[in-house]
Chain A
Amino acid sequence: MFEILGYGFFQNAIIAGIIAAIACGITGSFVIVRRMVATSGGISHAAFGGVGLGYFLGIDPLLGAFLFTVGAAVAIWYLKTHELQETDTITGALWATGMATGVIFIALTPGYAPDLFSYLFGNILLVPYQDLLMMGLLLLLILTVVSIFFNQLAAVTFDEEYAEIMGLPVGGLTLLLFLLIAGTVVLLISVVGIILVIALLTLPAATARLFTRTLPSMMGAAVLIGIGTVFTGIILSYSLDLPSGAMIILVGAGIYAAALAGRHFSG
């Protein structure tokens, strides 16, 4: 089976997987410690509206997804900080509205929507080269933002009220967290698809949390677990001829379950 390493599509898949794993290890750690899993679910499902818009306008569906995730992040943040609604409620509304918008756009688009299934459930073995470039740039942006604001993001995710008392721009930092999620979601769509994004975003970080004691070590471990998860998932997908996105998620869930069981039974 090592002959697949020589194929261009496989090399692209590995590069896409590593980029996605780094992004989801870092952003996912913030999502886990700040308990933003539901918010991330809302933002990622809203992306489907953007995919539909992409088909309708004839532009790259990933660009449409980017616009919609950023829009959803800003909307959730605005409604939350202005205390108009519970984050929970807004998230649910955006989740369904985004999906519905996508369905309508696709229905309005004449002809057949190619690759639709890939956007929903991912197909890392079909990631084109130009998507890799966009993913790489997005990852660079995420890494830059996190390294500049790390101390402040850590303070806000640990104790928001105290961060405000310390004079940190809590509103802006919260928006930044939501935008990090939006950017990471777009990165992950090619890998596991809109429906499964939430799992890859959270499983490696949740696993890492079980045996790490600081946020940076949690992020490092989550990145490594993520890379291992994606790599194993691709190999299994190829050798068993099963969908890659679903295999990656099942591997991630398996590792999480094993880590939980290991901790549980070792006391």
Chain B
Amino acid sequence: MTLKLSDKDIALINRVQNNFPLCERPFEAIAEGLGESTKWVINRLKELEEAKVISRFGSVVKRKNDSFSTLAALKVPHERVKDIAHLVNSYNEVTHNYLREHDYNLWFVVQSNSEKKLQAVLEDLSQHMDFPMLNLPVLESYHSDMVITL
């Protein structure tokens, strides 16, 4: 279900996602910047938190340096997608798995605390099926933050 947001809501959400004021009364500072009352800001944010639009107010930590991950893709015939997706999901190391419109149609992220375990998952997977697989590890990260301006 999607919540209906007004332009005021959108401005508020965009303001609180990043560079949150570090002062004793931060919501007062936000309200001033937006030309709203502090009471409205706090009440609206509480409502958005209750509606789970805001999942947390705090810190976002970078992925730990001791974790290894890769993006992998499989070219799976249409009629096999469901059961192969199920097989891929069965590995605890798989954190994300999406069907996408492409010849390579099943895209999943594998994450582990060792490179060896990561490779073991991919090898194990390829022993259970023989569809073409891509393994696309990151060489350089330019931007990684699931914050988007609405």
**A and B co-occur in one complex:** no
Q: List A residues at the B interface (Cβ < 8 Å).
A: none
Q: List B residues at the A interface (Cβ < 8 Å).
A: none
